[in-house]
Amino acid sequence: MKKTPLCIFLTLTVLFTLFFYYREKSLSSGFSVDTVTAERETLRDYVTLRGRISEKERRNLYLPCFATVCDSFASEGETVLEGDLLMTVKRTDGFVSAAALTESVKDMIAATFYESAASTDALADTEERNGIMYVYSPCGGTVMNIVSKKDSVISQGTPCAVISDVGRLEVVTYAEENLIGDIKKGCECTVRVRSLTDKEYEGRVTKIMPYAKASILSGKNSAETEIRISLPKSEILKPGYTAVVNIVTDVRENALTVPFEAVGEDEENREYVLSLSNGKGEKKYIETGKELYDKFEVLSGITPEDRLILYPDSVPKEYILEK
């Protein structure tokens, strides 16, 4: 049977294609590789801190004198309005025993187990009638604590009540001295609450104290600076909740990243990649930046067009092209 010129041409074309294909594969002599390309993405650097949720402001209400509680008309957790009656008291003259004072303040101490808000000290509104002093709230808010037990003694230096606006919350946290330099007022944050694992809240650094304090309780040999972070209004969040805060300290758009598996290291501890070219791995030295969870940021040395061989340390030397 006579072959037509078209059949001969097609046969030769297939043979040449197979020849060059297998010639390319034969450079690796059966040594196969997997490749990836570098990716462009937005990178964010974080500082992670732990803190507690607090009201943005609380008012500690004081009496103008020593007094003994007669009756209480408000309780913890109750919402009061400006001018609401909180309690009635009687002036106490003369010596007051330490035991009586201890009994009156122990509940107030329990109310400050977490980092409190920026407290404002204020005198409660009072009026006296027939030897009884009527104590009114000078502001609206939630009663965080109140000396309510009958016959409890309230000194002039002990708040008779604490009133807060629990609808305006923030996170109070502390940064060690090696971290505070990266944190600026206005930095964006994400906040997670330990008891609400499925919730994430957006916040922002609103205040950085201009001084640092030694952390005596933690036993750390460093100073810490107080930081306050705003929170959105929420009916779920409560003062006293523990929170984990991720503060964004730097954002880099269009950063180039490669997986750890694409980066090798030579005898001189120089980092490199192998870019696949004509069946060989062209060695390119790179400069890396941040080390991320499963990848490196690459500052220079490659482009997104490079096909990078995974596990370059395992490629035989005869298939590496050095420049």
Read off the pLDDT of residues 209-245 as tens digits, 9 standing for 90 and up.
Answer: 998 887 655 556 678 999 999 998 888 888 889 999 9
CB of 294 closer than 8 Å to CB of 309: no
Structural domain for 272, as ranges: 28-43+253-321
Which strand ranges, in their side-by-side order, compose the sheet holding 161-164? Answer: 79-80, 141-146, 161-164, 57-62, 118-123
The alpha carbon of 142 is separated from its chain's Cα centroid by a whole number of angstroms, namely 28
Asked if 187 and 234 sit in the same domain, the reply is: yes
Asked if 190 and 242 sit in the same domain, the reply is: yes
Domain assignment of residue 15, yes or no = no
Say yes or no to pLDDT of 151 above 50: yes
pLDDT, mean over the chain: 82
On the 0-12 / 13-18 / 19+ scale of CB atoms within 10 A, 54 is buried
Question: pLDDT-based confidence at 318, cuts 50/70/90?
Answer: confident
Domain assignment of residue 295, yes or no = yes
pLDDT score, position 22: 40
Which residue would you say has higher pLDDT here, 239 or 257? 257
Asked if 106 and 150 sit in the same domain, the reply is: yes
Q: What is the mean pLDDT of residues 244-248?
A: 95
Helix (H) or strand (E) holding 10: helix 5-26
Helices (H), 95-229: 98-110
pLDDT score, position 117: 55
pLDDT score, position 31: 64
Domain assignment of residue 10, yes or no = no
Asked whether the CA dihedral 45, 50, 53, 57 is positive or negative, the reply is negative
Asked if 247 and 271 sit in the same domain, the reply is: no
pLDDT tens column, 39-61: 999 999 899 999 999 888 888 99
Asked if 246 and 263 sit in the same domain, the reply is: no
Domain assignment of residue 139, yes or no = yes
On the 0-12 / 13-18 / 19+ scale of CB atoms within 10 A, 234 is middle
Which residue would you say has higher pLDDT here, 300 or 23? 300
Asked if 227 and 313 sit in the same domain, the reply is: no
User: Poorest-confidence range of 28-37, 187-196, 289-298?
Assistant: 28-37
Asked if 159 and 72 sit in the same domain, the reply is: yes
Asked if 147 and 289 sit in the same domain, the reply is: no
pLDDT score, position 32: 81
Say yes or no to pLDDT of 95 above 60: no
User: Poorest-confidence range of 106-110, 231-235, 255-259, 289-293?
Assistant: 106-110
Domain assignment of residue 265, yes or no = yes
Say yes or no to pLDDT of 23 above 90: no
What is the pTM (predicted TM-score) of this model?
A: 0.65
Say yes or no to pLDDT of 113 above 60: no
Nearest to residue 100, comparing CAs of 65, 152, 160?
Answer: 152
Q: What is the mean pLDDT of residues 69-80?
A: 92
pLDDT score, position 27: 39
Domain assignment of residue 13, yes or no = no
User: Poorest-confidence range of 12-21, 177-186, 200-209, 282-291?
Assistant: 12-21
Asked if 75 and 102 sit in the same domain, the reply is: yes
pLDDT score, position 116: 53
Asked if 182 and 50 sit in the same domain, the reply is: yes
How far CA 305 is from CA of 237, 299, 318, in Å, comes to: 48, 15, 24
Question: pLDDT-based confidence at 261, cuts 50/70/90?
Answer: very high
